[in-house]
């Protein structure tokens, strides 16, 4: 059977690139562990003398090392232009050194990334989501082309993590993810409080609506406050510090067993992060010796853990998109209904930004992810029996760690949650027959009805906000369309708009889109409307003044327009000309699937 068909049916898949000198279960024919299972294709005998010559030039020290030592690829999403990623080269050097000390041949390489924080609100954001596919393609390519025996990946920004895990699922060779870690909180002297990247976006709403004030009124003018926040929101290396998409994905992936204990909440610039890198070699050796491959870790039970962690911590809507894509790549059946099912039973516990007070660096100080998982395993909400990259179960990994302190305020007790159920709601209705994703923390209520105010691109809404044209009176549902995976193209995040609405305190406004939101977005927001407008989804024919109701209790999103009228409007609708006709975005638009299936490009 073709492995691609096996994946489609959810059956176990052997690696696509097998070295037939070895048995598929990862042992040599004499029964000994084959740590160089794949690389020996090039290094045994003299079948590939050119390859061996190149490998000697690339640092193989001896004939003995050539014949016996496994090859480990260390894949980082390093580049200097983004705080999330700019330190990953140094983490990779530490990991490489640890592999070499442990008798392995290791080579660093990197793939590309896009800074969501820098591109947010501009045309560059259209390139962000498709980097997930490029990252997966890059790591799969190098791992398989170079016959690497194992992979240690070091992601930083949010598309990085699903990208590396999708690559793991494709090549299915022993793999570990080492998260680059979170940034420290910044501090504003003008506001006299901790700040972060979300502050910079939300404060813009107060700036354009002329409600921006310093901690002591009159002490600073609006421009001085803006300059202070811009300068101090990001004080160093690391991913955005709240429970935004990067930390949502890192905590979910740790709960799946793909990273070492504590990886997801260890700050980027802490000594603990370097110690984690030093431990990576021993863990990847364990994976190779015991044939612990990604398909043994990427199971329905581990994805269930990811969903539990996402709900308990108040994670990003983007995790829905990414976890669907990761599961689809691994051949694990996961649907939107699974997210709703888990959200219905898991309480929202974490008082973390964007809707809360604290940051992930604060969570690290009270025990980090191991302590959170300990709470959830003890409560029977998280499966502690799943296998992990350490060779132990999740429960065994967290056993030595302390419980959360009784006096900490970041993770609420199960008896007193922020919300009794999860914050992610999957909505359907005549506006989103194939589903939509809402982030409802409960602080903004559970139901909203308002008149539609329609924008055909995010930039149109941004321009209206910048001009102060969104009124405070009367409930409004702002509709942003033609920003889906194909329509954007690239399904851009709309933090600039959602943050401006929060900063301007426009409580009479809800925001819906066939595009995405940043993990830093909050408020009454609905994204991932499917089918998207560009393929003729009903959102394409919403008109100004239509009444729209978002109901998180009934899981509905509807416009007060009859079925006959919707059909009439659609019969008269014409698809707009493609926004991009050449280059990587045009290729992405042709290949990408819908948001309700993870916006994948490698569907079979």
Question: Annotated active-site positions, please?
Answer: 518
Give the distance from CA 13 to its chain's centroid.
25
In angstroms, the CA 456 to CA 483 distance is 8
Report the relative pairing of strands 547-551 and 556-559 from DSSP bridges.
Answer: antiparallel
Judge contact between 594 and 530, C-beta under 8 A: yes
For residues 527 and 355, give the distance between their C-alpha atoms in angstroms, rounded to a whole number: 17
CB half-sphere exposure, 368, CA atoms < 13 A = 23
The Cα angle at residue 386 between residues 381 and 389, in degrees rounded to 5: 130
416 Cβ neighbours under 8 A, 6+ residues apart: none
Report d(CA 599, CA 528) in Å as an integer.
Answer: 10
Provide the 3-class DSSP secondary structure of residue 453: strand
Q: Name the burial class of residue 40, with classes exposed (0-12), middle (13-18) and buried (19+) by CB atoms within 10 angstroms of its CB.
A: buried
- Residue 601: name the closest of 259, 209, 270, 170 by CA: 170
Q: How far is CA 143 from CA 167, 176, 457, in A?
A: 9, 13, 39
Is 112 within 8 Å of 584 (Cβ atoms)? no
Q: Hey, what are 326's tokens? A: 């990761």
The three-state secondary structure class of 341 is: helix
Retrieve residue 596's tokens: 């309700």
- CA 38 to chain centroid, in Å, comes to 30
Tokens representing 354 are 């964007």
* Distances in whole angstroms, Cα of residue 449 to Cα of each of 461, 549, 555: 19, 4, 14
Nearest CA-CA partner of 75 in 37, 38, 113? 113
Q: Provide the token pair at 165.
A: 């895990």
Query: What does DSSP assign to residue 577?
Result: P
What is the spatial distance between Cα 351 and Cα 357, in angstroms, rounded to a whole number?
A: 6
* CB neighbour list of residue 419: distance below 8 Å, 6 or more residues apart: 347, 348, 441, 442
Which is nearest to 310 in space by CA: 172, 385, 422? 422
Crossing angle of helices 245-255 and 300-313, rounded to 10°: 140
Do 377 and 401 contact (CB within 8 A), yes or no? no
* Residue 436 CA, distance from chain mean position: 18
Inter-CA distances, 455 with 150, 202, 385, 491, 501, Å: 48, 21, 48, 15, 15
Q: Which ranges of 346-435 does DSSP label H, i.e. alpha helix?
A: 360-365, 368-378, 394-398
């Amino acid at each position: 059977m073709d492995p691609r068909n096996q994946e489609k049916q959810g059956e176990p898949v052997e690696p696509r690139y097998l070295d037939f000198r070895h048995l598929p279960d990862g042992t040599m024919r004499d029964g000994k562990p084959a740590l160089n299972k794949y690389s020996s294709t090039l290094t045994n005998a003299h079948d590939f003398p050119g390859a061996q010559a190149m490998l000697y030039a690339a640092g193989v020290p001896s004939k003995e090392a050539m014949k016996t030592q496994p090859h480990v690829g260390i894949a980082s999403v390093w580049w200097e232009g983004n705080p999330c990623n700019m330190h990953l080269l140094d983490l990779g050097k530490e990991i490489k050194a640890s592999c070499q000390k442990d008798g392995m041949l290791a080579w660093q390489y990197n793939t590309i990334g896009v800074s969501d924080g820098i591109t947010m609100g501009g045309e560059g954001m259209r390139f962000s989501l498709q980097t997930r596919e490029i990252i997966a393609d890059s790591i799969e390519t190098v791992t398989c082309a170079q016959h690497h025996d194992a992979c240690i990946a070091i992601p930083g920004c949010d598309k990085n993590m699903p990208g590396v895990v999708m690559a793991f699922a494709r090549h299915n060779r022993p793999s570990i993810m080492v998260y680059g870690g979170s940034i420290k909180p910044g501090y504003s002297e003008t506001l006299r409080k901790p700040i972060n990247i979300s502050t910079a976006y939300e404060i813009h709403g107060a700036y354009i609506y002329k409600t921006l004030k310093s901690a002591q009124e009159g002490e600073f003018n609006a421009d001085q406050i803006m300059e202070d926040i811009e300068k101090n929101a990001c004080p160093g290396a690391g991913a955005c510090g709240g429970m935004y998409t990067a930390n949502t994905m890192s905590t979910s992936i740790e709960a799946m067993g793909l990273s070492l204990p504590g990886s997801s909440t260890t700050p980027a610039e802490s000594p603990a992060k370097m110690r984690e890198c030093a431990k990576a070699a021993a863990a990847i050796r364990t994976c190779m010796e015991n044939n612990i491959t990604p398909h043994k870790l990427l199971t329905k039970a581990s994805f269930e853990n990811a969903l539990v962690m996402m709900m308990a911590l108040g994670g990003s809507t983007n995790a829905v998109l990414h976890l669907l894509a990761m599961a689809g790549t691994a051949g694990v059946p996961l649907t939107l209904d699974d997210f709703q099912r888990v959200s219905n039973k898991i309480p929202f516990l974490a008082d973390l930004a964007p809707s809360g007070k604290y940051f992930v660096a604060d969570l690290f100080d009270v025990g980090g992810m191991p302590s959170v998982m300990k709470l959830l395993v003890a409560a029977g909400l998280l499966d502690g029996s799943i296998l992990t990259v350490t060779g132990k179960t999740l429960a065994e990994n967290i056993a030595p760690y302390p419980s959360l302190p009784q006096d900490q305020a970041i993770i609420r007790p199960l008896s007193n949650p922020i919300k009794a159920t999860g914050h992610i709601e999957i909505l359907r209705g005549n506006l989103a027959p194939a589903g939509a994703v809402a982030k409802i923390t409960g602080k903004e209520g559970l139901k909203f009805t308002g008149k539609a105010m329609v924008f055909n691109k995010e930039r149109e809404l941004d321009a209206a906000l910048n001009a102060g044209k969104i009124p405070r009176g009367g409930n409004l549902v702002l509709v942003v369309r033609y920003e889906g995976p194909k329509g954007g193209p690239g399904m851009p995040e709309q933090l600039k708009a959602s943050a401006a609405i929060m900063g301007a305190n426009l409580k009479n406004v809800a925001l819906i889109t066939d595009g995405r939101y940043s993990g830093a977005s909050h408020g009454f927001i609905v994204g991932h409307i499917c089918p998207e407008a560009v393929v003729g989804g009903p959102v394409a024919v919403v008109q100004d003044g239509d009444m729209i109701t978002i109901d998180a209790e009934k899981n509905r999103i509807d416009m007060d327009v009859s079925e006959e009228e919707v059909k009439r409007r659609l019969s008269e609708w014409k698809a707009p000309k493609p926004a991009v006709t050449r280059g990587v975005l045009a290729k992405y638009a042709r290949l990408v699937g819908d948001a309700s299936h993870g916006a994948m490009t490698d569907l079979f």
